Amino acid sequence: MMQAAGQVSGERGAWWRKKRTRELVLVTCLLLPSLAIFFLYRVLPLGWNLLLSVQYWSPLKPPRWAGLDHYEEMLLYDDVFWQSLKNTLIFIGASPFAIALALGIALLVNSDLKGAAVYRSIVFLSYPLMTVAVGIIWRWMYDERGGIINFALREIGLVAKPIPFLQSFDWALPSVIVAEIWQVLGFYMIIILTGLQSIPQHLYEAASIDGAPRLAQFWRITLPMLRPSLFLCAVVGILNSFTSFDLIYVMTNGGPGHATELLITHIYKSGFGQTKFDYAAALTVVQFILLLALTYLANRAAGGNAGSLERQ
Amino acid sequence: MIPMRRHSQYMRHAALVGVSAIMLLPFYWVLKTAVTNENIYAYPPRLLPESPHLFNFVDVWYFIPFPRYLLNSLVVSVLVVASNVVFNAMAAYALTKNFPGKRAMLLLFLSCMLIPFQATIIPAYLITSKLGLLNSYLGLAFPLLSTIVCIFVFKAAFEAVPQSLVDAARIDGLSEGRIILRVLMPLSTAAVATNVVLAFIWSWNAFLWPLIITREPTMQTLPLGLARFLSYMEDTTGALYAFAVMVLAPSIFVFLMAQKEFIRGLTSGATKG
């Protein structure tokens, strides 16, 4: 009996003394805090969200199976859903223009131009700012009386009376999109600049020797080599339809009517305004699928494995 | 690039000055409004503030619980920054080692990166409520306590440290924890700075999550205070813009101080995947 116990502890000691095992325990301990956080706030919510979307949920009663009822309600009866889907797509659809603009600025800045670093900082300065404050600033810029935009338009003589940008059904969404582009433009520029700097110079030298004009060099070298960066910008643009919640909340709160309602604001209002967590979860699933589908399309457009995740 | 003629240099400068002016205009407009004492709705608005003053800033400090919001924001930011540096460094060190299932682990991290936090708010709220962390600093900070991008920033920095140095430390009898603390971290100050800057900016600016999980004004952070102020006062007072300026100032300061680290963090997450 004693001997057996001794043998067991001896084995256990050997097991513990094994270098590989010790390493494995160490690695597990080191990874544990981060993994716990990602599990609790990324993986688990994703699964639970899916489950919620096919349940009837209420704060006090245990959940019941709902099948696809929420999806049916959403697709057949929820006009706000369709409106916010359309707005989200418009919102995302504007990002190629922003990316093109950022590409232009990046090309101007990426040279031996004196003071290029200063311009770069200025364009990027708006990105790390608190979006709530940015929304408040832009709200004020669009104001009918105190706002500089209406003032400038009237001074130039483009409009006779001020445009209530954020209160108008036609103007509200484009106005919010402009504010969003203002904030994210610098980030696009930085991504593109990183891409530009990784293009080997000898490609341009070879092209120049062959007598290729600058424009051809842009189309044949710069743009194809920038594909991974442009793909990344596109992904950021798609993700922004989620993260622009702050901006919308402050600037219009989805209004007027539902003219600037995005899926994310609709999710928030259904979930936390009306406590329909199950329905909001179904909306989230749709938004997430939309996001994956668009990312997949962007990846295809960028030529397959651009921004490949395998690369370490 | 190929040297350009002076003429085209001027053209570039002109274009970039134009762009910069547009990018800076909102900053100017909010600053100007924040120090304007007359009716901010006067038309036409003045381009320069007449007799600028700082009363609005004083108003913000005394008439709303600004110090309380500030304290909450600072506590959450400190929590997030500290735990990011510690947890991310630990995880990154583990990822520099070889162990079975490492590939799967990396893949898990990378796919987690694709899940936007906003897509998980409903269950995340339920989880936080089950943990009893609604309305608490820990609850506010929890989802941000470790971030994948920053783990990869550390991993790249640790991998750049010569292996012989780590081996030498091990032979000298340093424990694994000491190796991280005494050998790797001092050689990766840039990565630490990137972690600090990114974690600070993310927690400082966070809005949706605090909006969801705080019920009491005493636990609200600055962005919530700002939004609340807006909903009470509408945009009728210069104090709102003074508030905005006060909230923006720290992130602008941090950004200007550590621009390189900030950009490196964002692009390393971006290009290295």
Does residue A227 share a domain with residue A158? Answer: yes
Does residue A35 share a domain with residue A143? Answer: no
Q: What is the band of A11 on the pLDDT scale with cuts at 50, 70, 90?
A: low
Q: What pairs with residue A64 in β-bridges?
A: A56
The predicted pLDDT at position A94 comes to 93
Does residue B99 share a domain with residue B15? Answer: no
The predicted pLDDT at position A13 comes to 61
Does residue A228 share a domain with residue A90? Answer: yes
**Residue A83: how many CB atoms within 10 A of its CB?**
18
Structural domains of chain B, count: 2
Does residue A191 share a domain with residue A154? Answer: yes
Q: Per the domain annotation, does A224 fall within a domain?
A: yes
Q: CA–CA separation, B84 vs B201, rounded Å?
A: 12
With 70 as the cut, is the pLDDT of residue A239 above it?
yes
The predicted pLDDT at position A60 comes to 81
Q: CA–CA separation, A185 vs A193, rounded Å?
A: 12
Does residue B83 share a domain with residue B145? Answer: yes
Q: Per the domain annotation, does B16 fall within a domain?
A: yes
Q: What is the band of A4 on the pLDDT scale with cuts at 50, 70, 90?
A: very low
Structural domains of chain A, count: 2
Mean pLDDT of A165-174: 90
Does residue A80 share a domain with residue A145? Answer: yes
With 60 as the cut, is the pLDDT of residue A310 above it?
no
Does residue A132 share a domain with residue A278? Answer: yes
Mean pLDDT of A267-293: 90
Q: State whether B45 and A146 contact (CB < 8 Å).
A: yes
**Residue B149: how many CB atoms within 10 A of its CB?**
19
Q: Per the domain annotation, does A58 fall within a domain?
A: no
CATH of residue A113's domain is 1.10.3720.10
Q: CA–CA separation, B266 vs B273, rounded Å?
A: 11
Q: CA–CA separation, A119 vs B60, rounded Å?
A: 33
Does residue A205 share a domain with residue A171? Answer: yes
With 60 as the cut, is the pLDDT of residue A302 above it?
yes
Q: Per the domain annotation, does B58 fall within a domain?
A: no
Q: What angle do CA A140, A175, A186 make, to 5 degrees?
A: 90
The predicted pLDDT at position A17 comes to 65
Does residue B71 share a domain with residue B49? Answer: no
The predicted pLDDT at position A304 comes to 58
Does residue A159 share a domain with residue A41? Answer: no
Does residue A75 share a domain with residue A217? Answer: yes
Does residue B96 share a domain with residue B17? Answer: no
- Whether the CB of B120 is below 8 Å from some CB of chain A: the reply is yes
CATH of residue B118's domain is 1.10.3720.10
Bond before A256 cis per omega within 30 degrees: yes
Does residue A83 share a domain with residue A46? Answer: no
How big is chain B by its Cα radius of gyration, in Å?
Answer: 23
Token look-up 């012989």 returns B164
Among the partner-chain residues A31, A122, A128, the one whose CB lies closest to the CB of B20 is A122
> Any idea which of A94-108, A170-184, B218-232, B233-247 has the lowest mean pLDDT?
B233-247
Most confident of A11-25, A30-44, A209-223: A30-44
Q: What angle do CA A288, A290, A291 make, to 5 degrees?
A: 65
CB contacts of B134 in chain A (<8 Å) are: none
Does residue B85 share a domain with residue B177? Answer: yes
CA distance A166 to chain B (A): 13
pTM comes to 0.87
Does residue B240 share a domain with residue B141? Answer: yes
Q: CA–CA separation, B240 vs B225, rounded Å?
A: 10
User: Does an H or E element contain B5, and which?
Assistant: none
Q: CA–CA separation, A273 vs A268, rounded Å?
A: 7
Does residue B258 share a domain with residue B162? Answer: yes
Q: CA–CA separation, B21 vs B29, rounded Å?
A: 12
Q: Per the domain annotation, does A65 fall within a domain?
A: no
- Domain housing A204: 71-301
The predicted pLDDT at position B138 comes to 92
**Residue A72: how many CB atoms within 10 A of its CB?**
13
Q: CA–CA separation, B137 vs B214, rounded Å?
A: 10
Q: Note the pLDDT tens digit of each residue in A249-277.
A: 999 988 788 999 999 999 999 989 888 89
Q: Per the domain annotation, does A307 fall within a domain?
A: no
Does residue B247 share a domain with residue B138? Answer: yes
The predicted pLDDT at position B72 comes to 93
Among the partner-chain residues B105, B127, B244, the one whose CB lies closest to the CB of A136 is B244
Q: Per the domain annotation, does B226 fall within a domain?
A: yes
> What pLDDT tens digit does each residue of chain B (273 aa) get?
445 566 778 888 889 999 999 999 999 988 988 887 767 777 777 777 777 788 888 888 887 888 999 999 999 999 999 999 999 999 999 998 888 888 888 888 888 887 888 888 999 999 999 999 898 999 999 999 998 888 988 998 898 888 888 888 888 888 888 888 888 888 888 889 889 988 999 999 999 999 999 988 889 999 999 898 888 877 667 888 888 999 999 989 988 888 888 887 777 655 443
Does residue B124 share a domain with residue B72? Answer: yes
Does residue B41 share a domain with residue B121? Answer: no
The predicted pLDDT at position B271 comes to 46
Q: Per the domain annotation, does A59 fall within a domain?
A: no
Mean pLDDT of A279-293: 91
Q: Note the pLDDT tens digit of each residue in A110-119.
A: 877 788 888 9
Q: Which 8-state DSSP code applies to residue B40?
A: T
With 50 as the cut, is the pLDDT of residue A1 above it?
no
Mean pLDDT of A70-89: 89
Q: Per the domain annotation, does B60 fall within a domain?
A: no
Does residue A110 share a domain with residue A38? Answer: no
Q: Per the domain annotation, does A291 fall within a domain?
A: yes
Does residue A156 share a domain with residue A246? Answer: yes
Does residue B5 share a domain with residue B74? Answer: no
Q: Per the domain annotation, does A114 fall within a domain?
A: yes
Does residue B176 share a domain with residue B243? Answer: yes
The predicted pLDDT at position B203 comes to 92
Q: Per the domain annotation, does A60 fall within a domain?
A: no
The predicted pLDDT at position B269 comes to 56
The predicted pLDDT at position A308 comes to 42
Mutation target among A29, A32, A38, A229 for the B interface, most CBs of B within 10 A: A38
With 50 as the cut, is the pLDDT of residue A296 above it?
yes
CB contacts of A233 in chain B (<8 Å) are: none
Among the partner-chain residues A111, A143, A194, the one whose CB lies closest to the CB of B1 is A111
Q: Note the pLDDT tens digit of each residue in A24-56.
A: 888 889 999 999 999 999 899 999 999 988 888
- Domain housing B4: 1-53
Q: CA–CA separation, A227 vs A215, rounded Å?
A: 17
Among the partner-chain residues B26, B27, B270, the one whose CB lies closest to the CB of A191 is B270
- Whether the CB of B112 is below 8 Å from some CB of chain A: the reply is yes
